[in-house]
């Protein structure tokens, strides 16, 4: 089997604040069309990695390239172009609280696309349907939504510009197991239908099992191991063993 | 010239619409125009075969437009010919979305809008009256509990608030009082000169600064500086459920959060008003000497006759009430914050506007009251 080309490559990434180095020489790649899970103990720098990749934190060293282009070498305009290929789902959703759900979804389209308003509204309503929200939710404000609905609405907003890469920060945190399961299914379906590549920071073992094609494990700011779930289970690193065979892990053998 | 669609020859039942290029959101406007320029009737469109074998890229926007092409037929995906597997999955999913009744924003009857607005305002004002009383009752209740040692005396919190609200306001209150005192004195001297009675400016400055201007300026400054801060603090704590956390822990948020603030205002505003009045008087002395030619010794001598303890007392008596009103309105508006950051901004504005309005109205009422009792 030929491996699909990588759509994003993180090379020797180094991030720190003041005297502390959070990420110390991390390299991995995200292949086209795959769902990649990023795991690691609390404080190992998963969210920092994500924020560094999407450019919210300036890295100290190393590069992030998208489709072969090093992000930091691009001009401002090219960077903006690359950013339009991303969709980011923040942990708390980060929906704009003063806009209704449909206006939230329309917002990136309004900013970046020249599109007739009627078509934009229709597309936003379709995105709402794609993430499985009822049409009645369109005019609700974020404060009126439940946690699961906020995540879905935020996902719809992340999908507004038809991104090629979707970054998810703990998408299933705070959802009940049924809701989380449905969210995993949703991500897999969306990834298949829309041809998305997904980088997902998660703590959820079920998500890893249900959604992720490959897993990257971080520890103390370094890459611990990258591979499929089966490879992870077979690893003999003590932390990985605890993680995948601990009391909260389901043993596939039953 | 259409870039994205071409019309094929008629072929049996219907014509062929050949779709080419990038059917993406970025081209949406041109795509819509091209489709419209085909000039096909809905019946022709639904009978057409849509050939997408030469389609380059397709995203959800493009897929939506494609499915809209064949929307009149029962199975809108059946019309597509030559779809790649990737495009077919996407088209199938988009076709499954059924845009039922347009979910437009629920609108009120435009004729009724003014009446609905009026009704909301009246009900809102009524609720405000009730809420003001409730908040006042809770704060006074918390005060009573603290006074009778049923609740802890939050000295640290009080001292901290006193510093934030009162001590840190001293420079700005003193400065604007000094400037306002100087301006009033200058204008007064200008008028009194015509009558050769410039010296009377001392009476006027003393009485005006201590009875009215000092306390009013201090109250307005504090309403702007700290009323807004209190509303924003309480409001963001409400958004992040910190308020509810206190409550379920069995801690009365009015007792823990609001009482120290309101208490600092009630104790501190008279002090601030006094500082402001003194600064205003200093402004009067300086301008009196520089502009009116009144030596400091003469000013002070005249001041002894003109200023009574009553003038000072009137100012200091009003201040605690104004402090309480500012604290009350700031807390009330903070409690009304719901959910969005927009609401927080609106409530903070409303807190400042209402406090300043109420402080000035209260000052007017006090003036009538003191005049009536000849104090």
Domain ranges of chain B: 5-96, 130-372
CA angle (A42, A82, A18) in 5-degree steps: 40
Instruction: Of A90, A92, A101, A147, give the one whose Cα is nearest residue A124.
Output: A101
Share of chain A above pLDDT 90, in %: 0
- The pair of structure tokens assigned to B169 is 């306001």
Q: What is the pLDDT of residue B13?
A: 60
Contact (Cβ atoms closer than 8 angstroms) between residue B77 and residue B92: yes
Q: B64 vs A126: CB contact, 8 Å cut-off? A: yes
A218 beta partners? A223
Mean pLDDT of chain B: 87
- The pair of structure tokens assigned to A251 is 């043993």
Q: Which residue has the higher pLDDT, A23 or B2?
A: A23
Contact (Cβ atoms closer than 8 angstroms) between residue A3 and residue A31: yes
Q: What is the pLDDT of residue B9?
A: 65
ipTM higher than threshold 0.90: no
Task: Please tell me the distance from the alpha carbon of residue A29 to that of residue A9, in angstroms, as a whole number.
Answer: 4
Provide the shortest C-alpha distance from residue A42 to chain B (in Å). Answer: 23
Instruction: Specify the range with the lowest mean pLDDT, choosing from A121-130, B28-37, B67-76, B272-281.
Output: B67-76
Provide the shortest C-alpha distance from residue B339 to chain A (in Å). Answer: 5
Residue of chain A nearest B88, judged by CA positions: A193
Q: What is the pLDDT of residue A253?
A: 45
Q: What is the pLDDT of residue B226?
A: 93
- In the predicted structure, residue B38 carries a pLDDT above the cut 80: no
Q: A139 vs B106: CB contact, 8 Å cut-off? A: yes
| Type and span of the H or E element at B17 | strand B14-19
pLDDT tens-digit profile of A63-95?
888 888 888 888 888 888 888 888 888 888 888
Task: Please tell me the distance from the alpha carbon of residue A77 to that of residue A74, in angstroms, as a whole number.
Answer: 8
Provide the shortest C-alpha distance from residue B106 to chain A (in Å). Answer: 8
Please give the CATH number for the structural domain made up of B5-96: 3.30.750.24
- The pair of structure tokens assigned to B64 is 């939506």
Mean pLDDT of chain A: 83
pLDDT tens-digit profile of A207-254?
888 888 888 888 877 888 888 888 888 888 888 888 888 777 665 543
Mean pLDDT value of segment B232-240:
89
The number of beta carbons lying within 10 Å of the beta carbon of residue B211 is 22
Whole-structure pTM over 0.80, yes or no? no
A-B contacts (CB, under 8 Å): 77
Residue of chain B nearest A120, judged by CA positions: B61
Mean pLDDT value of segment B242-263:
87
pLDDT tens-digit profile of B167-207?
999 999 999 999 999 999 999 999 999 998 888 999 999 89
Q: A126 vs B105: CB contact, 8 Å cut-off? A: no
pLDDT tens-digit profile of B66-77?
887 766 665 555
pLDDT band at residue A57 using 50, 70 and 90 as cut-offs: confident
* CB of A109 less than 8 A from some CB of B: yes
Q: What is the pLDDT of residue B249?
A: 83
CB contacts, 8 Å: A111 with chain B: none
Long-range contacts of A111-119 (CB under 8 A, 24+ apart): A112/A84, A112/A161, A113/A161, A113/B25, A113/B26, A113/B28, A114/B26, A114/B28, A114/B29, A115/B25, A115/B28, A115/B29, A115/B61, A116/B28, A116/B29, A116/B32, A119/B28, A119/B32, A119/B61, A119/B65
- The pair of structure tokens assigned to B267 is 């104790």
């Amino acid at each position: 089997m030929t491996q699909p080309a990588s759509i994003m490559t993180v090379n020797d990434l180094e991030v720190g604040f003041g005297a502390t180095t959070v990420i110390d020489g991390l390299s991995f790649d995200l292949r086209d069309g795959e769902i990649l899970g990023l795991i690691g103990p609390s404080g190992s720098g998963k969210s920092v990695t994500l924020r560094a990749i999407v450019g919210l934190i300036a890295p100290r060293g190393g590069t992030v390239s998208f489709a072969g282009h090093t992000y930091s070498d691009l001009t401002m305009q090219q960077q903006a172009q690359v950013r339009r290929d991303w969709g980011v789902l923040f942990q708390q959703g980060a929906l704009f609280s003063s806009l209704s759900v449909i206006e939230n979804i329309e917002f990136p389209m309004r900013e970046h696309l020249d599109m007739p308003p009627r078509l934009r509204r229709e597309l936003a309503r379709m995105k709402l349907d794609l993430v499985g929200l009822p049409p009645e939710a369109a005019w609700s404000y974020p404060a009126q939504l439940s946690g699961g609905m906020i995540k879905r609405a935020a996902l719809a907003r992340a999908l507004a510009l038809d991104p090629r890469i979707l970054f998810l920060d703990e998408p299933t945190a705070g959802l009940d197991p049924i809701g989380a399961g449905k969210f995993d299914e949703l991500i897999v379906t969306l990834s298949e239908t829309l041809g998305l590549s997904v980088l997902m920071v998660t703590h959820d073992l079920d998500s890893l099992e249900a959604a992720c094609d490959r897993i990257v494990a971080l520890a103390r700011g370094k890459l611990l191991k990258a591979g499929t779930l089966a490879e992870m289970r077979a690893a003999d690193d003590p932390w990985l063993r605890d993680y995948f065979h601990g009391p909260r892990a389901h043993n596939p053998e039953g | 010239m259409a870039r994205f669609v071409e019309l094929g020859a008629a072929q049996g039942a219907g014509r062929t619409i050949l779709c080419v290029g990038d059917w993406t959101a970025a081209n949406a406007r041109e795509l819509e125009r091209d489709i419209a320029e085909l000039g096909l009737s809905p019946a022709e469109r639904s009978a057409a075969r849509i050939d997408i074998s030469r389609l380059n890229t397709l995203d959800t926007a493009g897929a939506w437009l494609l499915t809209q092409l064949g929307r009149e037929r029962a199975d809108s995906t059946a019309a597509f010919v030559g779809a790649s597997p990737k495009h077919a999955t996407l088209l199938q999913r988009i076709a499954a979305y059924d845009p039922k009744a347009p979910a437009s924003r629920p609108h009120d009857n435009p004729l009724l809008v003014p009446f609905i607005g009026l009704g909301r305002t009246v009900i809102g004002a009524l609720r405000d009256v009730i809420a003001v009383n409730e908040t006042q009752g809770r704060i006074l209740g918390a005060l009573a509990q603290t006074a009778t040692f049923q609740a802890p005396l939050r000295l640290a919190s009080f001292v901290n608030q006193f510093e934030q609200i009162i001590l840190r306001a001293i420079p700005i209150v003193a400065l604007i009082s000094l400037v306002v005192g100087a301006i009033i004195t200058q204008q007064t001297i200008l008028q009194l000169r015509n009558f050769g009675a410039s010296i009377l400016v001392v009476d006027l400055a003393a009485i005006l600064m201590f009875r009215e201007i000092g306390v009013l300026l201090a109250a307005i400054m504090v309403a702007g500086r700290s009323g807004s801060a209190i509303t924003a603090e309480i409001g963001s704590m409400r958004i992040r459920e910190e308020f509810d956390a206190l409550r379920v822990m069995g801690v009365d948020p009015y007792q823990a959060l609001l009482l120290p603030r309101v208490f600092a205002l009630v104790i501190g505003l008279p002090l601030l008003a006094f500082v402001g009045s003194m600064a205003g008087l200093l402004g009067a002395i300086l301008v009196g000497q520089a502009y009116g030619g009144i030596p400091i010794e003469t000013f002070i001598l005249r001041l002894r006759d003109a200023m009574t303890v009553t003038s000072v007392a009137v100012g200091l008596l009003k201040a605690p009430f104004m402090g309480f009103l500012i604290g009350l309105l700031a807390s009330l508006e903070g409690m009304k914050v719901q959910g969005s950051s927009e609401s927080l901004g609106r409530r903070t504005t409303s807190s400042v506007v209402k406090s300043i309005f109420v402080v000035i109205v209260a000052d007017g009422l006090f003036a009538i009251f003191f005049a009536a009792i000849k104090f």
